[in-house]
Amino acid sequence: MRKGWILLVLLGGLGLAQEMSPASLQEMGNFIKKTNPASYLLYAAEAKDFVEVFEPFILDVRTAEERSRGFLPGSVHIHISQLPDRLGELPKDKDKPILVYCGTGHVSAVAAAYLRALGYREVKNLNGGFRAWLELGLPVQRP
């Protein structure tokens, strides 16, 4: 039950934290302490290599409007607000590498933490998001 609260807060924003019990807040804090950002952040050049070597499931959590301007080749679009309802579209294998990205890397960091809390072990977040990918001139697919 408490894990559910943690996931809800991660997706709903920290504003909900004011409504959580002290025990739930403590559990959320423990989860955050265990989630070392260095273990899942990839800069754009590293992400390019990660994609080439590991052939991950690439998850775009941006809006449809953002995606219409371009996206990482082979990515699957699931807006972050739809993620809890579309888990069936994610890999069944919890060890399958996953690269999550958004426009700047902030929203995708929440999505990556959510996926890690669900048991996915090889989740990476594109630090700087799609913007950083574009700045390096890396491949982009257009609709």
| C-alpha 64, offset from chain centre | 16
Radius of gyration of the chain (CA): 15
| Known catalytic residue at 55 | no
Helix or strand or coil: residue 138?
Answer: coil
CB 27 within 8 A of CB 130: no
Which of 102, 107, 111, 123 is catalytic? The answer is: 102
DSSP state of 92: S
Distance CA 93, CA 124 (A): 15
Residue with tokens 């989740």: 123
- If we measure between CA atoms, which residue out of 2, 9, 11 comes closest to residue 82? 11
Distance CA 102, CA 108 (A): 5
Point out the residues that are catalytic: 102
